[in-house]
Amino acid sequence: MDRTELRRRSDALRWFHTIDLGDGVITNGVDNSPERLRALHLPADLSGRTVLDIGSWDGFYAFEAERRGAARVLASDYYAWHGLGWGTGQGKAGFQLAREALGSRVEDIDIDVLDLSSERPGVFDVVFFLGVLYHLPNPLLALEKVAAVTGEMLILETVVDMVGIRRPAAAFYPGSELSDDPTNWWGPNHAAVVGMLRNAGFDRVDVMSPIGSAPYRAARAVWHQLKGRNRMDRAFRQDRAVFHAFRTRSS
């Protein structure tokens, strides 16, 4: 399609991811996906490896895995693609338009996290689980399902809370306590995420985003309150974190 048509179709959709569709057309995503990508420390070269992107939404990370040479990429989602929350009514239209514009071979499957298994959709070398964990009422069960489809490496990004507490702990968000979003359920701290991943069957877990110092978190909390994004006391103990988990033996 030509640039004018691509821009028209892109502008008609409500995007979460910011995706460069080519020809100078960039989706108007609410998420600064290229900036978030830098914090994930994805393998630079995924040649010959299979990748599963859980909670793919508009597909930014699935398309990035393909760009890095993955032999096969499967994008999976259910909640976003069935219009159950943000973006209600458009289903997977964003993902489909991006795939068409990019000439991508990324596959897709409609499946809920708790329905994942080694039979469906199968086991993948590398699994992305980005921005999903804290939206799930049963995070440990979800990680057990994710572990079942991970052959080698899991890359997990999530909201963390109770930062600075050394023992495993998690904050529970009743109602719409976190970001006025009723789909946010839990904010585990770093130790809790590591513990859950090990309990789910991963042999090694690397924390890729270290805990910021107290002065840094205090300054950030003040900024969040001034911007009206969060209460200062909550912002001080909350953050986002990235974990790389590995399976070095079959289970």
H helices, E strands: number in the chain = 8, 11
The predicted structure's pLDDT at residue 183: 87
Q: What is the pLDDT of residues 192-251, one digit of tens each?
A: 999 999 999 999 999 998 776 667 667 766 666 666 656 766 767 888 899 999 998 554
Residues 6+ apart with CB under 8 A from 127: 51, 52, 53, 54, 146, 149, 150, 153, 154, 155
Cβ-contact 217, 163 below 8 angstroms: yes
Picking from 34, 94, 44, 85, the residue whose alpha carbon sits closest to that of residue 65 is 44
**How many CA atoms lie less than 13 Å away from 38 in the CB half-sphere?**
3
CB atoms within 10 A of CB 47: 9
What residue segments make up the domains of the chain, in order of their start? Answer: 44-246
Fold of the domain spanning 44-246: Rossmann fold (3.40.50)
CB atoms within 10 A of CB 105: 10
Q: What is the pLDDT of residues 92-129, one digit of tens each?
A: 999 999 999 999 999 999 999 999 999 999 999 999 99
How far apart are alpha carbons 156 and 82 in whole angstroms?
Answer: 23
